[in-house]
A and B are shown apart, each in its own frame.
Chain A
Amino acid sequence: MELILTEDQELLAKTAADFVSEHSPVSRVRKLRDAKDPVGFSKELWKQMAELGWLGIPFPEVVGGAGLGFAELAVVLEALGRTLAPEPFLSTVLLGGQVLLLGGTEVQQKEWLPPVVNGDCILTAAYQEPQTRYDLRRVATRADRKADGWRLSGEKIQVLDGHVADALVVVARTSGGEHDAKGLTLFLVRKGAPGLEITRQSRVDSRNAALVKLSGVAVGPSEVIGAVDEGGDLFENVVDRATVGLCAEMLGSMEEAAASTFKYLKTRVQFGVPIGSFQALKHRAARMYIELELSRSTVMAAARAVDEDHPELPKLASLVKARCSDAGILIANEAIQMHGGVGMTDEYDVGFYLKRARVAEITFGDASHHRDRWARLSGY
């Protein structure tokens, strides 16, 4: 793999940066939050992103996609991360979309992926449960076999964009006990299905998440994705890919948090001088920069590993997530500290970056979880 952007990728980066600065300032996130917007993002902007071809980047041309990869997707997600754009990339393109791409039948792909690419359909994955923490295989939600298919029962938490999703990929247990690695199956559940109850949740970053309660939801055999009892491996692969995408978004956010802090250090005057002239702050700023640059290299490498279907992808996904989780929190914490009192105010944007950094850190597992996974995958 080569760790540079091609000319096309540079161009895409510029287009994305221009679009984001014109249409998606952080003030938009603030407005959505303060208005308790029922959708939680801008459907209009989502449609525009589809028209730019962004939603189709990682999908093949047969479903209307661009047939590109995560190297390109990362460039766009980084730009969106810079201003904390809340559109449902993670849920729709990276979770639901990838499940269908990697595990769906031709019929399933034809039904769901074209509307995803066109921006007409929101997908998500319901995998987390109250006891899951970061163990994707720890699933209590049951799918009981019936003559006409399956009945799903259980409770999922913090389902991204759950309340606006047209369909949810539900991870459920078809055999074995709660802690068994095997025996998981993925099901597609359509919105409005009888027995499906969705309640919007509120998290610190004010992005969409929902509780999902399944009370004997009926699912037909044609809504199983991938092989019965074999969904664990498929879903883990999807989460590895989604993790890489999330890290690209995190990279953009930390870049912006760092940049606004460096700017502040140059303009804020105390004791008659810009505070950026103090060595105590200079060295910490330099450390932020180092962590940022290492994160960038790792995001680029992991994105290319997805595109090459690299056997080390699980390790690299853990590498990039551990690094971006720690670097994201470091930079956001330092951003608040260096902004001083003003950084603590709701009026100032920097707090939004800290809140998002925390949520992103926890999503798909924090740094110590991923160091443990890296060590396990490395054989120690």
Chain B
Amino acid sequence: MAELETFRRETRDWLLKNAPPDIVGLPANDLEGNWGGRRATYAVPGMKTWLLRMAERGWTAPSWPKEYGGGGLAPGEAKVLSQEMTRLRLPPPLIGFGLTMIGPTLLQYGNEEQKREHLGRICRGEIRWCQGYSEPGAGSDLASLQTKAVRDGDDFIVTGTKIWTSYADKADWIFALVRTDPAAKKQDGITFLLIDMLTPGISVRPILLISGKSPFCETHFESVRVPVRNVVHKINAGWTVAKSLLGHERSMIADAFGGAGAGQRTARLSALASLARERLGDARGQIADPVLRDRIALEDMDTRAFGFTVQRAKDGAKAGHRPGPESSIFKVYATELNMRRRELMVQTLGPSGIGWEGPGFTESDLETTREWLRSRGNSIEGGTSEVQLNIIAKRVLGLPD
């Protein structure tokens, strides 16, 4: 315990000395922040300095091994670092799918050469990754994907279309699932492949969502040549890798939508309650609409209960317990919490919550409305809630097929 307190002191001192002043108070979550990459843009000039200093210390990926560019921190230390960053209102120096999805997957399944080639570049924010999983004909039934990869000497020739490739228009590399054996059972003919987006034959088209904007793209592959050495794990064994990565993805989504509070008071909820007080008025110290007040309290309380559940899983992992299938619970529950919250925000706004653009609506109300529309996708992306419930029923409860 004393060692951890020393670490806390040293960490705080280092952070205070090295964090550029203009980054303080910037958003700290998995969806807003510095994504890095070949074409990185920085919200403030200090963000680039912040990235360089933190990366040099290995603290863009605090718990990854040092030899691959990480910080080599024990779970307790990583928690301290995160607590101190929160306390000092410092945003993460880097976010993105490299850190949350492909990095952990490569640590588990990548060969030494792949780890050396990719992990360092992820930690330094040099390469931004995107995910090529879903296809127009393969949504919830992901394993029915049809993008084919045909062997040609030391290369695969990849042809097909991926959809919902978040930020493909800004990404440098893509990790994709491709069909390498059309004759095998659908899960058995899939390979997990790393592809440089600069390779000839790749085209990207953004997709507009009901919210009026979107990070999503459709990514088309026309005879794209990819070296066989870019296969992660084994040829035709990509489904195993894919499932593991989905676990990381679902944890990431859960963290982004309410798990990060880990039982602590979250600022967001007081924001919901205070918005309601501001817009609906106050009757003897209480939100004037008693029904909405009850629903806000329920949302507030469920968020807290969920935070405790995430904390329980993390404390369990720290104590060396094997992680259960809770990532499926987390994904379902965290996204539904967020969706309920967005809906309550818009209902609280009332007539101010139905603006699309232009006069008569404030920027922040318009943003709230767009975010509500965007949030309807939360229970679809990354595996629909229905698929998650199937997974819980099968793997946790052991119900028959």
Contact = CB atoms under 8 A, between A and B. Distances in A.
B11 to A, nearest CB: 21
A368 B274 CA distance: 20
Given A297-B309, A297-B311, A283 B294 contact: no
A300 B308 contact: yes
Contacts of B388: 286
A271 interface: no
The winner among B270, B305, B316 for most chain A CB atoms within 10 A is: B305
Interface string B181-194: 00000000000000
B393 A298 contact: no
A62 interface: no
Nearest to B317: A4
A372 B305 contact: no
B174 to A, nearest CB: 32
A285 B306 contact: no
Interface stretch (B94-102, B112-120, B132-140, B326-334): B326-334
A323 B392 contact: no
Interface in A98-155: none
A4 B294 contact: no
Interface in A311-326: 318-319, 322-323
Contact of B319 (A4, A283, A297, A322): A4
Contacts of B326: 293
Interface in A60-85: none
Question: What's the interface size class on A, roughly?
Answer: 35 or more
A252 B338 CA distance: 29
B16 to A, nearest CB: 28
Interface in A228-270: 262, 265-266
Contacts of A378: 270, 273, 297, 300
B141 interface: no
Contacts of B276: 380
B67 to A, nearest CB: 31
A342 interface: no
Interface of B: 263, 270, 273-274, 276-277, 285-287, 293-294, 296-298, 300-302, 304-306, 308-309, 311-312, 315-316, 319, 321, 326, 329, 332-333, 386, 388-390, 392-394, 396-401
29 contacts: A3-B263, A3-B312, A3-B316, A4-B321, A262-B397, A266-B400, A274-B399, A281-B399, A282-B394, A283-B386, A285-B397, A285-B399, A290-B333, A293-B329, A294-B306, A294-B309, A296-B312, A297-B305, A297-B311, A319-B305, A371-B294, A375-B294, A375-B297, A375-B300, A376-B285, A378-B273, A380-B276, A380-B277, A380-B296
Interface of A: 2-4, 262, 265-266, 273-274, 276-277, 279, 281-283, 285-287, 289-290, 293-298, 300-301, 318-319, 322-323, 368, 371-372, 374-376, 378-380
Q: Shortest 8 CB-CB distances between A and B: which pairs?
A: A282-B393, A297-B308, A286-B392, A276-B399, A3-B312, A297-B309, A371-B297, A286-B389
